[in-house]
């Protein structure tokens, strides 16, 4: 009963102008160990040289800023899963912006895209060398922090993509040029050994510089892939709790429910209420699934049933009886005081130079 709504989410995600995606590994017992060997002996395992198992997480920014979360677990990596999704994209649409890390396998074959790479990945390589190269790391990290402060101001003032591009071009362009020229000089003049940890971090940034700085040329291009990495934590937490899927079909069922739940949370809808209403109106959701998405299902309910009978307030997470009142429903993934404090804190200063 949930399949039509899930397929509609995939269809709308394929039309999005901006797509974030990344991979994590997954355990599927049917495709591991003796079970895999049995399938291979029976000739039931296509492409037996392929051994990896992945969960791909996708966050697509659809019309009106709606965020769609999708999961896809199996033997295919992110580039292949994204290519299958983009097969549903309408031909007359402009190429989407794809935000991912710098792996070559993330490029979806057979589709024209505008690729951006994650600044956080490059920054992480620099942070790893802070103990051995404090002065060099401080120089880079302080300047990247300036760019992030500009981007935070753009979000605070809710600038349009075009206005955000103009602001970054004015205030961040010179900063990024300064970083690039400085790193190039460090390597060319052998001030930093190219094969050292710092040298490799610099070469990582320089090699991907055009994709890392797409936000200076393309309206709406993001700085990093953090939203997708946060999404994948849901799959990672599920893997830690359940350890594995038994079969590939079971993994697809898990992907469906994680996609619906995560999309509901990203659009400020109560996941329990949403799934409950889909079950109550399964026939209507199957007939016109576009009216039963997390951001519009409540309006659909009000239209088809303007005077609903009294029911427990599932959407608020409360029992209507004051004697048995329950606290609001908690989000699908746990929070902690540390995480809550981090969300309200200011950005960290770059590592100090020793």
Q: What is the pLDDT of residues 251-274, one digit of tens each?
A: 999 999 999 999 999 999 999 999
- Do 119 and 205 meet the contact criterion of CB atoms below 8 Å apart? no
18-25 β-sheet, strand order:
67-74, 54-61, 18-25, 97-100, 114-117
Query: In the predicted model, what is the mean pLDDT of residues 17-44?
Result: 95
pLDDT in the model for residue 104: 81
Rounded Cα distance between 45 and 56, Å, is: 21
DSSP code per residue over 292-305: SSTTTHHHHHHHH-
Rounded mean pLDDT of 134-156? 97
For residue 309, the model assigns a pLDDT of: 62
Calpha distance 313→89 (Å, rounded): 38
Q: 18-22, 161-165, 199-203, 311-315 — which is least confidently predicted?
A: 311-315
- The confidence score (pLDDT) of residue 260 equals 98
- Over the chain, what is the mean pLDDT? 89
Mean pLDDT of 276-293: 96
In tens, the pLDDT along 195-217 reads 999 999 999 999 999 999 999 99
What residues contact residue 70 under an 8 Å CB cut-off, 6+ apart?
Answer: 9, 10, 13, 57, 58, 59, 60, 85, 255, 259, 263
> What spatial distance separates the first Cα and last Cα of the chain, rounded to whole Å?
60
The 10 Å CB-count burial string (b at 16+, else e) for 160-175 is: eeeebbebbeebbeeb
pLDDT digit string (tens) for 57-96? 999 999 899 999 999 999 999 999 999 999 999 999 999 9
Q: What percentage of the chain's residues is helix, strand, coil (to nearest 5)?
A: 55, 10, 35
Note the pLDDT of residue 338. 41
């Amino acid at each position: 009963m949930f399949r039509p709504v899930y397929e509609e989410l995939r269809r709308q995600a394929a039309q999005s102008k901006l797509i974030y995606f990344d991979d994590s590994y997954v355990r599927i017992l049917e495709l591991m160990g003796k079970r895999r060997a049995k399938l291979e002996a029976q000739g039931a395992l296509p492409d037996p040289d392929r051994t990896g198992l992945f969960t791909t997480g996708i966050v697509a920014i659809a019309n009106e800023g709606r965020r769609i979360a999708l999961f896809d677990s199996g033997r295919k990596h992110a580039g292949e899963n994204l290519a299958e999704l983009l097969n549903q994209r309408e031909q007359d649409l402009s190429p989407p912006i794809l935000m991912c890390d710098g792996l070559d396998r993330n490029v979806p074959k057979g589709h024209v895209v505008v690729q951006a790479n994650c600044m956080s990945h490059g920054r992480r390589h620099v942070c790893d060398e802070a103990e051995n190269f404090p002065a060099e790391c401080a120089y880079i990290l302080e300047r990247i922090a300036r760019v992030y402060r500009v981007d935070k101001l753009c979000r605070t003032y809710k600038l349009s993509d075009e206005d955000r591009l103009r602001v970054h071009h004015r205030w961040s362009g010179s900063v990024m040029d300064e970083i690039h020229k400085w790193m190039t000089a460090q390597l060319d003049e052998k001030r930093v050994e190219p094969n050292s940890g710092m040298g490799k971090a610099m070469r990582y940034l320089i090699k991907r510089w055009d994709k890392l700085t797409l936000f200076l040329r393309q309206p709406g291009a993001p700085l990093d892939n953090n939203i997708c990495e946060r999404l994948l934590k849901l799959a990672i937490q599920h893997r830690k709790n359940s350890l594995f899927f038994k079969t590939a079909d079971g993994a697809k069922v898990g992907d469906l429910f994680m996609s619906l739940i995560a999309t509901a949370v990203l659009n400020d809808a109560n996941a329990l209420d949403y799934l409950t209403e889909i079950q109550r109106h399964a026939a209507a959701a199957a007939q016109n699934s576009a009216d039963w998405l997390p951001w519009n299902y409540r309006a659909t309910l009000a239209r088809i049933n303007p005077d609903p009978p009294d029911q427990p307030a599932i959407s608020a997470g409360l029992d209507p009886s004051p004697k048995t009142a329950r606290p609001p429903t908690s989000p699908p993934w746990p929070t902690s005081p540390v995480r809550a404090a981090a969300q309200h804190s200011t950005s960290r200063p770059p590592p100090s130079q020793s």
